[in-house]
Amino acid sequence: MQHNSSISNAARAAQTVHQVPGFGSEEMERMAEHTFQRYTFNDDGPGPSKRKLGKGVAMVWFRNDLRILDNEVLYKAWVSSEAVLPVHFLDPRLFATTHHFGFPKTGALRAQFLMDCLADLKKSLMKRGLNLLIQNGKPEEILPSLAKAYGVHTVYAQKETCSEELNVEKLVSQALRESGTKLELVWGCTMYHIDDLPFSSKSLPDVYTQFRKSVESKSVVRGCIKIPTSLGPPPNVGDWGCIPEITSLELRQEKACFCSSSLYIYIYINYLLLGVLEVQSHLMQVSKGMAFVGGESAALSRDLLRTYKVTRNGMLGPNYSTKFSPWLASGSLSPRFIYEEAVLEKYRPLGVKTEYFLMPGRMLELVSPTLRYPLIDANMKELSTTGFMSNRGRQIVCSFLVRDMGIDWRMGAEWFETCLLDYDPCSNYGNWTYGAGVGNDPREDRYFSIPKQAQNYDPEGEFVAYWLPQLRALPKEKRHFPGMMYIKPIVALKFGNKKPVDNRTMAPGTRSVSTEENKWKSHRGKRMQ
């Protein structure tokens, strides 16, 4: 009985779900309200009112800015009106399929995260005298009739940057123009305002380092927009609508049609994706790893900036990085707010140096592969289960799919679009082009060596053993390279797998790791990592 109990306890521990952030709903709301108090003002006191010139009804079209704090769209609508009508559209295009490979554009996990964000936004607006009108359909087809029904003089919305969003903006603008309603787009998705850049948006530097140095030396981050304690009143709306269950969103569940003629790619990718594609037919709930709670209240209660620089390359657990990205991607959190809180108030100076982990003295000889790659499988399994993957994991997976498997990088980018809670088109597709060497970056063959990444960032195999429990029984040094105790691969690594050898006894003509693979530990600009 004792033996069985131990097994059960170990199994339960392996299935632990870590809520991010790790607080109950009441505690998250309390922490959020404490923050709101520092970023609000009372417009009802003596003196001139900031709203006294407002007339009629203004609409707030919430897009990827699902927050109240530091939301200039909401503030401008409030100032310019006597009543504010907040609206969010569940656009069916967001739940269609990706362009090239037919993956679901929004997986069930991100859909649920979005519903959490909307529920929290609705609750926060109601606390401040408003509400959130939920509409199912395309904005350009519904906005004109809403504007007419409620006498809206201006629709305020956040300005977006990518093609799909810009096309929707164009269609909405045309539709509203015919109804006599104005559309005002407000820039609010970046830390630096576009008008404050030291160059025009049409003449950005080609290389990011040049961009960063110029902006940091010549631009200033604007302060957060404060909001009034009361945002009401709203117009008289009979039915504000409810936050839907994701079963009503008609998420696309069919398996993607892979356009590659290579059978091994089809088999391997299907193996990696099978867990998600099958689970998506159910209401997808996290059973292991990190379960993110959507919404501004959850975002405002997350605080791990002090340790970020020494933990950002971690892989296992909820606290190795800030995990702000899902809330930033949904607009539940403002990048200016993070800057103001982290740099200007609490954490300046950080004074922490990133620690680098060096290779052991024994070198790695390249040999023919006889196994699958637990580090890749574990990262993909985490992605499918939680909707999240570490920064380090994303780089490793990208390198493997593009360099070792020779897969079209767009397949990886579109699959990440499906799965990631923090999906953002600029970040996602920008990082995949960067990793694939098809962007402006001159280092075209950036390669992440799986043996070195495993040894540097998961040296005891805890990460792979967590996501691949069959490896936990193995000695720690065998978890990344379990030989025939794991599944045989169907593709070889570009630079092979590892076998410990003494570098001093390497045969003449053998490629020395000290001159090739050890490049990972040198400064930025080297390709081997």
**pLDDT, tens digit, 9 for 90 and up, residues 444-494:** 667 888 989 999 999 999 999 999 999 999 999 999 988 878 877 667 887
Residue 1: what pLDDT? 37
> What whole-number percentage of the chain has pLDDT above 90?
51
Residue 343: what pLDDT? 67
Rounded-to-integer distance, Cα 322 and Cα 306, Å = 9
Question: Has residue 303 got a pLDDT over 90?
Answer: no
Rounded-to-integer distance, Cα 319 and Cα 305, Å = 10
Rounded-to-integer distance, Cα 340 and Cα 342, Å = 6
Residue 272 binned pLDDT confidence (cut-offs 50, 70, 90) = low
Residue 315 binned pLDDT confidence (cut-offs 50, 70, 90) = low
Tell me what the mean pLDDT of segment 28-47 comes to.
Answer: 85
Residue 320 binned pLDDT confidence (cut-offs 50, 70, 90) = low
Question: Has residue 360 got a pLDDT over 80?
Answer: no
pTM of the predicted protein model: 0.82
Residue 372: what pLDDT? 74
**Residue 303 or 10, more confident:** 303
Tell me what the mean pLDDT of segment 96-119 comes to.
Answer: 93
Rounded-to-integer distance, Cα 306 and Cα 326, Å = 19
Q: Which two tokens stand for residue 372?
A: 């699958």
Tell me what the mean pLDDT of segment 206-220 comes to.
Answer: 91
Residue 434: what pLDDT? 87
Question: Has residue 263 got a pLDDT over 50?
Answer: no
Question: Has residue 304 got a pLDDT over 60?
Answer: no
Identify the residue whose tokens are 């395309």.
138
Question: Has residue 369 got a pLDDT over 90?
Answer: no
Lowest pLDDT segment from 17-31, 68-82, 367-381, 501-515: 501-515
Residue 280: what pLDDT? 42
Distances (CA, A) of 284 to 79, 358, 415, 445, 498: 41, 39, 17, 37, 37
Q: Which of 99-103, 251-255, 295-299, 519-523 has the highest mean pLDDT?
A: 295-299
Question: Has residue 521 got a pLDDT over 90?
Answer: no
Lowest pLDDT segment from 78-92, 479-493, 504-518: 504-518
| Contact assessment for residue 422 and residue 335, using Cβ atoms and an 8 Å cutoff | no
Q: Which helix (H) or strand (E) holds 451?
A: helix 450-457
Residue 261 binned pLDDT confidence (cut-offs 50, 70, 90) = very low
> What whole-number percentage of the chain has pLDDT above 70?
73
Structural Rg of the chain based on CA atoms: 25
**Residue 441 or 3, more confident:** 441
Q: Which of 32-46, 100-114, 488-502 has the highest mean pLDDT?
A: 100-114
Question: Has residue 519 got a pLDDT over 50?
Answer: no
The region, left, alpha or beta by phi > 0 then psi within -120 to 50, assigned to residue 514 is alpha
List the one residue out of 375, 391, 394, 395 whose CA is nearest residue 323: 391
Helix (H, G, I), strand (E, B) or coil at 474: coil
Residue 134: what pLDDT? 96
List the one residue out of 441, 413, 388 whose CA is nearest residue 162: 413
List the one residue out of 270, 333, 273 whose CA is nearest residue 305: 333
Q: What is the pLDDT of residues 155-178, one digit of tens each?
A: 999 999 999 999 999 999 999 998
Tell me: cis bond preceding 508? Omega within 30 of 0 counts. Answer: no
Residue 447: what pLDDT? 86
Rounded-to-integer distance, Cα 367 and Cα 451, Å = 12
Q: Rounded mean pLDDT of the chain? A: 78
Distances (CA, A) of 210 to 133, 165, 395, 426, 441: 43, 28, 22, 18, 12
Residue 319: what pLDDT? 64
Residue 333 binned pLDDT confidence (cut-offs 50, 70, 90) = very high
Rounded-to-integer distance, Cα 194 and Cα 222, Å = 11
Question: Has residue 508 got a pLDDT over 50?
Answer: no
Rounded-to-integer distance, Cα 136 and Cα 93, Å = 11
Residue 524: what pLDDT? 32
Q: Which two tokens stand for residue 383?
A: 């992605």
Tell me what the mean pLDDT of segment 78-99 comes to.
Answer: 95
Residue 502: what pLDDT? 36
Residue 222: what pLDDT? 94
**Residue 224 or 502, more confident:** 224
Residue 357 binned pLDDT confidence (cut-offs 50, 70, 90) = very low
Tell me what the mean pLDDT of segment 26-37 comes to.
Answer: 91
